């Protein structure tokens, strides 16, 4: 078992070396876009299935409440948290529309709609991002593997370079934490004071 643990940690470290090398600039670029979205009064809408639903809820919670610093609340919605809405849409229209119907109802031009999918192929996330694009939103994917079909409908696809679902999820939550930190610093902290 100890060897198994060691191998898991080594795989994690190897992936995070790749993320540092390949994604530091794209993560910073994504943070800049999210900061601009919030600065002009728009909101973040975040979605995913299973573990990615938990990540969407986590992301929205950090934005609405706080991450590290005391500051005003910011507008973010997790589309996977309202069971009445999800079950109504799923029952009336089908599971593939549980997110797209919410985007149709709630999105405004200039909002950022973020889909989280380890495979890059979640049909309900794909449909929602298509609707978001038609509504004039910035479409963002936190994806894995090769980005799947979702990559093509994203203005900013951020792909964790792994085919191993647990490793992709570890990458996603770390990216989310970095984004939350950068958003706070960009709006209220050191980057805001420096005018960056």
Annotated binding-site members for Zn(2+) = 58, 62, 169, 177
The SS3 call for residue 44 is strand
CA distance 128 to 148: 15
Q: What does the block give as tokens for 109?
A: 């031009």
Residue 137 CA: distances (Å) to CA of 87, 101, 131: 25, 15, 9
Instruction: List the binding residues for substrate.
Output: 49-51, 62, 91-92, 117-119, 122, 169
Q: Is 176:58 a contact under the CB 8 Å cutoff?
A: yes
CA distance 144 to 163: 7
Instruction: List the binding residues.
Output: 49-51, 58, 62, 91-92, 117-119, 122, 169, 177
Determine what percent of the chain falls in helix, strand and coil, rounding each to the nearest 5: 60, 10, 30
The SS3 call for residue 76 is strand
Start-to-end C-alpha separation, the chain = 47
Cβ neighbour number for residue 135 with a 10 Å cutoff:
17
CA distance 171 to 162: 9
């Amino acid at each position: 078992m100890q060897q198994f643990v060691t191998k898991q940690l080594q795989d994690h470290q190897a992936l995070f070396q790749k993320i540092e090398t390949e994604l530091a600039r794209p993560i910073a670029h994504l943070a800049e876009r999210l900061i601009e979205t919030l600065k002009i009064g728009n909101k973040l809408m975040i979605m995913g299935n299973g573990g990615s639903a938990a990540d969407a809820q986590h992301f929205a919670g950090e934005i609405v409440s706080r991450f590290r610093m005391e500051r005003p609340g910011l507008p973010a919605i997790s589309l996977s948290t309202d069971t009445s809405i999800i079950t109504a849409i799923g029952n009336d229209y089908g599971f593939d529309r549980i997110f797209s119907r919410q985007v149709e109802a709630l999105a405004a031009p200039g909002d950022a709609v973020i889909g989280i999918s380890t495979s890059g192929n979640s049909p309900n996330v794909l449909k929602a991002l298509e609707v978001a694009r038609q509504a004039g939103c910035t479409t963002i994917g936190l994806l894995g593997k090769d980005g799947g079909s979702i990559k093509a409908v994203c203005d900013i696809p951020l792909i964790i370079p792994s085919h191993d679902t647990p490793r992709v999820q570890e990458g996603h939550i770390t990216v989310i934490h970095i984004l939350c930190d950068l958003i706070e610093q960009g709006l209220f902290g050191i980057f805001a004071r420096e005018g960056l």
